[in-house]
Each structure stands twice: as structure tokens, then as C-alpha cells.
Amino acid sequence: MSYETKLEKAVAELESAGIRSSSHNAFSHRFLRKLGIKVRPSYYEPIWRNFLVLSAEFFVLFFAFSAIFRYDPPTTTYVTLANEVMLGTSAYALLMSLYYIFMARRCNLTPWKNL
């Protein structure tokens, strides 16, 4: 079965389960799909892939925000700032990855390979 067909079935299943479209059709996913990358909705991704993708996305935004508003040159280095941001990023990515797994099981979503 083609990626587009599976994606349509997955979106229909997510909408019938009551999951908002903003949750499974995030800006980053839409952007990657426009670039031609075949990205599954987060509820159908393995936990490790969700963790890596969410970590990368959030690290960039959180580091830029922290560098602008929290960076204090005499007392803080960029390495220290990056370590602090990485701790927050890891916590966020882990919690969101667990949330996606929990909601997929709670809503009895069909595994991606069975769509």
C-alpha cells in the first residue's frame, strides 16, 4: 500500500478517535511532507523516533530563545547554556513521546504496518 493511502487512513482514524488535527498535522510534519519526506503522524511513530525528532525540533527553538533571553556572557558559556537546554529538551521530548504512545494505545489506533 502506498504512503499516501496509509496517511489518509491514519488521518481518518485519528479524526474518528477525536484527536485534533493540529496534534497529528504539526507544522514540522507539513513542512517535511512538502519537501517530499514521508513522515508518519506522531501517533504512529516508534517512541525512539518521536524522542529524536522532538528533541531536535525543541532544542533549536529553546536554545535560540535561551541564548537571546538567558545568556549572560561573564557567568555563562554557550556550552553551559546548551547543557541546560538539553536537559529541558530531553524532559519535554520524553514526556511528549510517552504521551503519543499512551494516546495511541488509549484510542486503539491501528499500527502503521496494518493500515
Query: pLDDT tens-digit profile of 23-59?
Result: 888 888 888 899 999 999 999 999 999 999 999 999 9
The pLDDT value given to residue 77: 85
| Full-model pTM | 0.85
The pLDDT value given to residue 105: 94
For residue 92, give the amino acid letter. Y
Number of domains comprising the chain: 1
> What is the per-residue pLDDT across 81-105, written as a single tens digit (0 to 9) for each?
899 999 999 999 999 999 999 999 9
Please, what is the Cα angle at 97 between 92 and 99, to 5 degrees? 95
For residue 115, pLDDT over 80 is answered with yes
Domain interval for residue 87 = 3-114
Give the Cβ contact number of residue 70 at 10 Å: 11
**Alpha-carbon span 24 to 67, nearest angstrom:** 30
CB 67 within 8 Å of CB 78: yes
> What is the per-residue pLDDT across 8-20, written as a single tens digit (0 to 9) for each?
999 999 999 989 8
CB 47 within 8 Å of CB 101: yes
Number of H helices, E strands in the chain: 5, 0
CB 66 within 8 Å of CB 81: yes
Q: Residue 62: what are its φ and ψ, rounded to 5°? A: -70, -35
